[in-house]
Amino acid sequence: MATTTDSSELKQTVDQVTEEAINVGYRLEQRFHRFRQRRAEARGDIPVMVAFEGYGSEHHVRVLGRALLKSRGLIESTDESAESIRGWRSFTAVPIAFAHVNVWIDDYEFHLVADKGGVVDVDLQVGLTPGEHTVWMQTEGSEVVEARVFVVADDQRIGIVSDIDDTVMVTALPRPLLAAWNSFVLNEHARSATPGMPVLMERLLRSHRGAPFLYLSTGAWNVAPTLRRFLSRNAYPSGALLLTDWGPTTDRWFRAGAAHKVHNLERLVTNFPEVRWILVGDDGQHDPEIYSGFAQRYPEHVAAIVIRNLSPTEAVLAGHPLVAEERRVRIPEGVLWIQANDGASLSRQLAEHGLL
């Protein structure tokens, strides 16, 4: 006798099978990482702590770093003083899952545990004066390394958040082949700064002294050193990199780049409840939707949304030949929205509105 299946039951079954498949993928990835870590330890790879620039207020700091295992040859070839470093080398280091990490900042000392990707990303409750401070980090067997932490004054009211790919650096990231080439093959010398953007960012920093300056990207933590060198070589203001990790999670095959950006923006609302943000991005991916959505939820935390429009050629490379026509974003009343193709034009518009 024939039977029928309710559509809701069918959907539930499909969702369950998909969830189980994703969990299998997640577990396989973790087994692979454990295998790599055991192999690296057996061949005598050296524990290395990488400290990233952080930020904070007078009451807390966000500390960022990563514990890795590197061969001696890899350490020498990726030294900060090296003149040419290929992107793929950043992916050959092995993360130390759940590494124990010691952190010191001024008179404070903390004992932390990294996540499964070796990443330390935590808000520490400390009392610090505004300005630059130094954080020292060490994992078991590694040398002590240091990084800058910028502490924002309580009376600061403006902050800057900028995307990286196709905003400050020309990469055409949404096209998978070009993304892989840029991430794994090219070094920072082969990448180009977006016309006018270094000057725009420097003017923003001068106009809002003491403002937090953050680079929010869907790029992997592996490329953080390369991105840092690129920004420095092209005279971009220093600032914390807020990157992510690749691979499956417990509920997704791949990490959602948009969710990463949304989460970090909302974290800033908590970290800096009195700050209004100048949000800088491009229309090649999802920045307009992400920023406008953030403005709808937190209009009092947005000073301006600044969108760099891709050229027709860039848009085709990015997989969005009609980018400008496809966007359907809703901007709350009173939130400034400006857009142009280059930094000089964006700078003029910001100046007209008193933000430069």
Write down the domain spans for the chain: 1-44, 46-151, 158-352
210 φψ region: left (φ > 0), alpha (ψ -120 to 50), beta (else): left
| DSSP string for 85-107 | --GGGGGTSEE-TT-EEEEEETT
| DSSP string for 154-198 | TT--EEEEE--BTTTEE--TTSHHHHHIIIII--GGG-EEPTTHH
The predicted structure's pLDDT at residue 182 = 53
Give the tens place of pLDDT for each residue, 84-96.
445 555 667 788 9
- Range 46-151 has CATH code 3.40.50.11540: no
Q: Which of 289, 307, 285, 286 is nearest to 297 (CA)?
A: 289
> Which residues of the chain fall short of a pLDDT of 70?
1-27, 29-30, 32-33, 73-91, 171-190, 246-256, 315-328
Which stretches within the chain are classed as H helix? Answer: 7-42, 72-77, 176-180, 197-207, 224-233, 257-271, 287-297, 312-317, 323-326, 343-352
The predicted structure's pLDDT at residue 321 = 52
The predicted structure's pLDDT at residue 108 = 96
The predicted structure's pLDDT at residue 44 = 76
Give the distance from CA 235 to its chain's centroid: 19
The predicted structure's pLDDT at residue 17 = 46
- Range 158-352 has CATH code 3.40.50.1000: yes
Amino acid, res. 215: Y
The predicted structure's pLDDT at residue 81 = 42
The predicted structure's pLDDT at residue 24 = 59
Q: Compute the distance between CA of residue 193 and CA of residue 349 in angstroms, rounded to an integer.
A: 20
